[in-house]
Chain A
Amino acid sequence: MSTVLEVRNLETRFETHEGTVYAVNGVSFQLDEGETLGIVGESGCGKSVTMLSLLGLIPTPPGVIAGGQAFFLGRDLLKMAEEEIRMIRGSQISMIFQDPMTSLNPVLTIGDQIREPLEEHLNMVAAQSKQRAIELLNLVGITDGASHLDDYPFQFSGGMRQRVMIAMALACSPTILIADEPTTALDMTIQAQIIELVKDLRKELGMAIIWITHDLGIIAGLAHRVMVMYAGYVVERAMVEDLYEHPSHPYTRGLLGSLPRVDAESDKDLVNIEGMPPDLLTKPVGCPFAPRCQYVLSRCREENPVLDELKNGHELACWWDIDRHKPRYGR
């Protein structure tokens, strides 16, 4: 299987009045054709900023892409001119956002908005794009698409709006679909429907997916590999079953441990991760998770662990061996 996206050492910062915000600090990952990569982490850990950086959607007065490369089908996205990358957005790499209520333009019809990428990237004429829009609506489970083309977003429910967003994103059959927390704003039953829809579409169209979420429950049934991020760093990465069976980073353990379980005793408190989310205004000396880690060593505060491969593709950035209860690498 070929690699469609290879990101190396992406660094993104925001120069603000209060200082420099280190949003993404050396993130590297690879995405293969047809693969689904889950990116997990708490709010503010840099998941969305990474994706927006790849597509040149970071506003460049405060934002700066400070380093790194992102190869998509052989070309570096970060070095492309605006016009070049504009042609990739929406046609080869698409993104859907969290809040379907605000992601659709309220004064344009659904039909107009779905036809926009078709007419822009595939140069379709009105009759063709209308036809294709109806097909796309059918694809995402909105039957009788023809009568909905002239409807406005406010006439739809949240789940249907998200389906419309998905239809827009898949209009030009992209190679990669980036889903930035698309179900977070929806209620549970609709969430399940949307996830099922995406799985069916994946089977049918075969695109690679990057699914960003902070809900570990969703990722389990959806992703092939999962990447855990914290404070702009990648702290762990593994195949999904491996991650859930052998979470090796204290943060990952904390995330999994804090999930409410159906089989837990009802009088026990939920486990939470002590401490506060990191302040991104300072570039940390040592591991960014050290202030909150229950296994912290003196080495952790001095040296930021690098992402290292353990076995079968399980990567980890940590000085502590959580299974054997001793420091890795002897110190």
Chain B
Amino acid sequence: MPFSTRASVITKKEQTMATTTDIEMLAQQGILARKPRSLWGDAWRRLRYSITARIGMVIAAIIVLTAILAPIVDPYNPKLDSNLDISRQPPSAQHIFGTDRLGRDIFRRIVHGASLSLSVGVVAVATAGIAGTILGLVSGYFGGATDMVIMRIMDIMMAFPSMLLAIAIVAVRGTGLFNTIIAISVVGIPNYARLVRSMVLSIREREYILASHMVGVRTPVIILRHVLPNSLSPIIVSATMGIGGAILTAAALGFLGLGAQPPAPEWGAMIGDGVPFLRQTPHMVFIPGMAIMLTVLGFNLLGDGLRDALDPQMRE
């Protein structure tokens, strides 16, 4: 059934006043277009209506699809690609983004670099998110000495400039994609821990948590089933924006030569490769730079849209 804005206005008003039997009656009379939705359904609907969120979703979707499909559609072995005869060519018909120092097609490298950047971004954020959430839940719910110890460790970690901390970790563990992921995720943990802890502190005092105690639910179940789902919204927003940040940090590490090692088509490393030739063939620097920028922009817009969609104040 086509969804109309007018019906949604009626829906919201009826929802606050009517009982569900009234709602069913009204649905049968065709006044309500559809049954009221859950929190996530409602957030999804609001997300779809924001223009910036839609742009973000489109960009993010393009990057994700590229990252997933590229290795399947076009298996790439960078070692076999070099052709010194056509090195450092500007964009042309055969090579739409030109070629790099070793004659490799930059467009192809950008496309395959997407999966590198995206995997670093997603895995690092997911790891940091999960570890940070666990620490935040424990710290926020149990309080006391546990809270103090965990938070002081987080404070120490946050005192380091994140780039330096990441470089330090890479210096200890060595270069390469896997260690980049570890470095970026460790740097990101305190953010999620603090976010979750702050949500838990507020949710812990709510009446439905007291009611759960009242019903006799065990503590681990209360934390995982009652407290955690209510704390998810800020984590989701922060994680989505965090993907952009992680990609940037990964690119910075790659630029410094500390990330995925050549010949891997990592975008930051591609920029690093192109810097000596900035005057003569700037496309070698700018094109990977644009790729990074668009990707991060896409995820940031998506994160903004999610934040607005999940903001409880904006729901009547």
Residue ranges of A at the interface with B (Cβ–Cβ < 8 Å): 55, 57, 86-91, 94-95, 97, 99, 102-108, 116-117, 120-121, 143-144, 148, 151-152, 154-157, 159-160, 165, 168
Contacts and interface: CB of A to CB of B under 8 A. Distances in A.
B218 interface: yes
A120 B217 contact: yes
A108 B226 contact: yes
Interface in B107-133: none
A132 B225 CA distance: 21
B216 A91 contact: yes
Interface residues of B, number: 28
B237 to A, nearest CB: 16
11 contacts: A89-B215, A90-B216, A97-B211, A97-B214, A103-B208, A104-B208, A105-B226, A107-B39, A120-B221, A155-B15, A156-B20
Contacts of B210: 57, 97, 103
Given A90-B216, A106-B230, A156-B20, 20 more contacts: A57-B210, A57-B214, A86-B216, A88-B216, A90-B217, A97-B207, A97-B210, A97-B214, A102-B208, A103-B207, A117-B217, A120-B218, A144-B21, A152-B38, A152-B39, A154-B36, A155-B15, A155-B20, A157-B18, A160-B19
Nearest to B312: A106
A153 to B, nearest CB: 9
- Sorted nearest first, the 7 A-B pairs with minimum C-beta distance are A90-B216, A90-B215, A89-B216, A102-B207, A105-B208, A107-B229, A117-B215
Contact of A117 (B18, B206, B216): B216
Contacts of A89: 213-216
B92 to A, nearest CB: 55
Given A155-B36, A156-B19, A121 B216 contact: yes
B17 interface: yes
A104 B211 contact: yes
Contacts of B287: none
A226 B188 CA distance: 58
A151 B213 contact: no
Most B-side CB within 10 Å, residue of A88, A105, A121, A152: A105
Interface string B1-26: 00000000000000101111101000
Interface string B218-235: 100100011001100000
B212 interface: yes
Please classify the interface of chain B as helix (H, G, I), strand (E, B), loop, or mixed, using the class held by over half of its residues.
helix
Interface string B195-212: 000000000001111111
A315 B221 CA distance: 44
Nearest to A89: B216
A296 B211 CA distance: 42
Contact of A99 (B207, B212, B214, B230): B207
B18 to A, nearest CB: 7
Given A105-B230, A106-B39, A116 B217 contact: yes
A55 B20 contact: no
A102 B206 contact: yes
Contacts of A157: 17-19
A165 to B, nearest CB: 7
Contacts of A117: 215-217
B208 A154 contact: no
A151 B211 CA distance: 19
Contacts of A159: 19
B227 to A, nearest CB: 9
B219 to A, nearest CB: 9
Given A88-B216, A156-B20, A103 B39 contact: no
Contact of A107 (B17, B23, B221, B230): B230
Contact of A95 (B15, B214, B226, B230): B214
Nearest to B225: A108
Contacts of A86: 216, 218
A151 B216 contact: no
A121 B216 CA distance: 8
Most A-side CB within 10 Å, residue of B19, B21, B216: B216
Contacts of A106: 39, 208, 230
A281 B225 CA distance: 38
A3 to B, nearest CB: 23
Given A57-B213, A90-B214, A155 B229 contact: no
B78 to A, nearest CB: 46
Contacts of B211: 97, 103-104, 165, 168
A118 to B, nearest CB: 10
Contacts of B36: 154-155
Contacts of B225: 108
A80 to B, nearest CB: 13
B45 to A, nearest CB: 15
Contacts of B19: 156-157, 159-160
A104 B214 CA distance: 12
